[in-house]
Amino acid sequence: MRIGVLTSGGDCPGLNAVIRSVVHRGTDVHGDEIVGIEDGFLGLIEGRARPVSHDDVTGLLTLGGTILGSARVQRERIAWAVENAKTLARDIGIDALIAIGGEGTLTAARRFSEAGLPVVGVPKTIDNDIDATDVTFGFDTAVHVATEAIDRLKTTAESHQRVMVVELMGRHTGWITLTAGMAGGAHGILIPEKPFDIEGVARMVEDRFTRGKKFAIIAVAEGASPMPGTMRFDHGEVDRFGHRTFGGIGNRLAHELEDLLGKEARPVILGHVQRGGTPTARDRVLASRFGWHAVEAVHQGAFGHFTALRGNDIRLVPIADAVTRLKTVPEERWAESEAVL
């Protein structure tokens, strides 16, 4: 078979490990030809694709980013591509497609599958907000990077008796902030699922200093918001891909805390550092397993499905289950994080 593979949406550590695994399983075991489509669905639309051989994937297990490139594509162009799915597939000569991406990519993958281009999805995102899989690859790496940042901020915060506000990725969900916040022992964890009360945060910091502690670390997700009627803050505009842009809560929070407490506060925006570099061992293994199962899914004809981690096993689950709702931090997980504050 000729199997196309593409990576779409924001990149994340482990994408290359999936590509490598698809090539190994597809070529070595099934005699497939793997066609790498450049820059996600943009490459499919523009007919930019190239064969990917065993040699091309040497060394990819540990390499961050994606050798195929990735891009976000406007909704109208995706709609056009779905209408022309069969022609586009014929033009680049593929019988089936493995689409590796987040919620937007999986939604598109489902539509392509329904339109006659057989697609298997592989979920990725550092945000870990895709439903129907226990975890996505990239998340563990992002949590490690964020945890290390918190660890490092502690020593400088203590030296200067400061409040450090570290803003982490997570537009709609607080998985990275909750997990790295717990692992790094942050004193405040603010996530989109739980609007925060700035007075409460300030009181918690004040209490710490009163008890003789010399610093405080607040981990805040980029999508976190204040409770209505408290601190005024508006998140950004909607960009040309239809995504609301986030950013600014870390800066705003640090300034507000400085005003309220009369203590020095510094914002640290970790940003894309969380998405770069080599994947952790856990992400390398999960990504490789997803690639292996995606190829098997193609050969079983399990189109319109995606690879999901359930417990220790990889299952094939209808893509519809992944895109119906976002996987947010449940109340019980939040309660556990409060216990360590």
Which residues are at the interface with ligand F6P (CB under 6 A)? 10, 102, 125-127, 169-171, 222, 246, 275
Q: Is 252 annotated as a binding residue?
A: no
Tell whether residue 83 is among the known ligand binding residues.
no
Tell whether 272 is in a known binding site: yes
Catalytic residue among 32, 127, 129, 140: 127
254 burial via Cβ count (<10 Å: 0-12, 13-18, 19+): buried
- Nearer to ligand F6P among residue 57 and residue 220 (C-beta): 220
In whole angstroms, the minimum distance from the beta carbon of 128 to ligand F6P comes to: 10
Q: Which is nearer to ligand F6P, 118 or 170 (CB)?
A: 170
Query: Which parts of 173-323 are beta strand (E)?
Result: 188-190, 216-221, 265-269, 305-310, 313-318
Task: Please give the structure tokens belonging to residue 309.
Answer: 């981690």
DSSP string, 7-36: E-SS--TTHHHHHHHHHIIIIIIH--EEEE
CB of 31 to ligand F6P, least distance (A): 35
169 labeled part of a ligand binding site: yes
Supply the minimum distance, in Å, between the C-beta of residue 124 and ligand F6P: 9
What gap in Å lies between CA 23 and CA 100, rounded to an integer? 14
Q: Are 56 and 8 in contact (CB under 8 A)?
A: no
C-beta of 264: minimal distance to ligand F6P in Å? 28
Specify the residue, 3 or 169, whose C-beta has the smaller distance to ligand F6P: 169
Cα gap 49→245, rounded to integer Å: 31
Instruction: Give yes or no: 197 in active site.
Output: no
Which residue's C-beta sits nearest to ligand F6P? 169
The residues near 298 (Cβ < 8 Å, ≥ 6 apart) are: 1, 3, 96, 98, 118, 120
User: Hey, what amino acid is at 159?
Assistant: S
Environment class of residue 324 by beta-carbon count within 10 Å: exposed (0-12), middle (13-18) or buried (19+)? exposed
Cα–chain-centroid distance for residue 14?
A: 11
Q: Is 33 annotated as a binding residue?
A: no
In the complex, the smallest distance separating the C-beta of residue 205 from ligand F6P, rounded to whole angstroms, is: 26
| Residue number, 222 or 283, with CB nearest to ligand F6P | 222
Sorted by sequence, the CB contacts under 8 Å of residue 332 that are 6+ apart come out as none
Nearer to ligand F6P, 276 or 315 (CB): 276
Cβ of residue 272: shortest distance to ligand F6P, in angstroms? 6
Q: Is 304 annotated as a binding residue?
A: no
Between 171 and 208, CB nearer to ligand F6P: 171
Cα end-to-end span (Å), the chain: 54
CA torsion 234→232→103→105, rounded to 10°? 20
10 is in an annotated binding site: yes
Burial 70-108 (b: 16+ CB within 10 A, else e): bbbbeeeebeebbeebeebbeebebbbbbbbbbbbbbbb
Residue ranges at the known binding site for Mg(2+): 103
Active site residues: 127
Annotated binding site: 10, 72-73, 102-105, 125-127, 162, 169-171, 222, 266, 272-275
Which amino acids are annotated as binding site for ATP, given as ranges?
10, 72-73, 102-105
Q: Which residues are annotated as a binding site for substrate?
A: 125-127, 162, 169-171, 222, 266, 272-275
